[in-house]
A and B are shown apart, each in its own frame.
Chain A
């Protein structure tokens, strides 16, 4: 396999417009050599899934500070499956109470990066997940 750059779709799901965090993450992933496709604010689950499919992304990162994750994340997982990209690992960042992390993981979220996650860990997570996702795709 060629060492083509990791492709990541980053999106704000739902109505909250707080994008300071996701923009920092976008810059950091770019500086780590990834191709970051940022879809902007106010995305619905179906918009994100469509972007993941058409952009052939290796992973998708969602920022959500609205507290609506328990409703919107299952919508996203369903939408990804409907687009044929249910295998693409989903990373959730933003404000997620500790108690909700296992719930999200059970829904199929690959990783939850809550407040206070270091940028190093964020980059590492996207790298690992992309590698695993590509290996899975090749099999």
Chain B
């Protein structure tokens, strides 16, 4: 049984270390936040004090179906942002088994960075029965990363959820990653994936059919576009980094557009 007083002490001590820039404190606070409801109120009030006076980060959601290349894109974006001198955190969310609660979190296989680099932070999260492929306290975890001082926060999550709006609520800009495969565009539309995306990245654009996929996506978006204009479609090859620069440009434009359109 946990003793409430010692729990509060522990949080205070962690907050102290967090403020001093101790990455371990960040890691432990994320665990406590991810843990569940029993102390989320304390953590949220702590967060308010930690976040006070901090600049907000650019938060980019990366979504798409399994095998689309989300984590390869996350890896490419980390390289791109570090090369631009920006610090970046990645929250990589993968579903846990509904039966055992266990999970295989393999995003780190794809992500390479210098272990001495303090400007990168990667955290794998197993989502347990949460809608939208995000953990229930995703917003709080993202705020922690923001408060710690990362310039940019990437949130990677599978798109095939009942409630894709979850990622909308956390990210400033949502990138949908798709791969060329004839006929899937209709599925993406039906699944509502196209609606939540601000930018659509056609990954593995060296595969045959990439141009056709991009063209038919543009056509589909033109029809449903409405006042805001249709979302940009960018061809990339995340594995080589090709097109990632252009993609990031679109992300920044989308952020400005959205901050104008949302109060």
Contact = CB atoms under 8 A, between A and B. Distances in A.
A and B directly contacting (CB within 8 A): yes
Interface of A: 1-2, 4-5, 7, 26-27, 29-40, 44, 46-47, 49-51, 53-56, 83-85
Contacts, number: 82
B11 interface: no
A2 B103 contact: no
Interface in B12-42: 22-24, 27-28, 30-31, 34-36, 38
Nearest to A85: B24
A105 B154 CA distance: 39
Given A46-B115, A54-B123, A56-B28, A2 B105 contact: no
A36 B104 CA distance: 5
What size tier do the contact residues of chain B reach? 20 to 34
25 contacts: A2-B38, A4-B35, A4-B36, A5-B101, A27-B104, A30-B102, A31-B97, A31-B100, A33-B102, A35-B102, A35-B124, A36-B102, A37-B108, A37-B124, A38-B108, A38-B109, A40-B106, A46-B115, A46-B116, A47-B115, A53-B23, A53-B27, A55-B123, A84-B24, A85-B24
Most chain B beta carbons < 10 A, residue from A2, A4, A5, A35: A35
A83 B106 CA distance: 22
Interface of B: 2, 22-24, 27-28, 30-31, 34-36, 38, 96-97, 100-106, 108-110, 115-116, 121-124, 126
A27 B36 CA distance: 25
A82 to B, nearest CB: 10
Contacts of A46: 115-116
A78 B123 CA distance: 22
A136 B202 CA distance: 48
Contacts of A2: 35-36, 38
A138 to B, nearest CB: 8
Contacts of B108: 37-40, 51
A18 B124 CA distance: 24
Contact of B102 (A1, A34, A56): A34
A86 B37 CA distance: 29
Given A38-B108, A38-B109, 8 more contacts: A4-B35, A30-B97, A34-B102, A35-B126, A38-B106, A40-B108, A56-B31, A83-B24
Nearest to B36: A2
B105 A1 contact: no
A49 B104 contact: no
A38 B27 contact: no
In order of increasing CB-CB distance, the 6 nearest A-B pairs are A40-B109, A30-B102, A46-B115, A50-B115, A56-B27, A39-B108
A26 B126 CA distance: 15
Contacts of A26: 104
A80 to B, nearest CB: 12
A5 B126 contact: yes
Contact of A36 (B2, B24, B103): B103
Contacts of B30: 56
A132 to B, nearest CB: 17
B27 A1 contact: no
Contacts of A36: 102-105
A32 B24 CA distance: 27
Nearest to B39: A2
Contact of B105 (A31, A37, A53): A37
Contacts of A27: 104
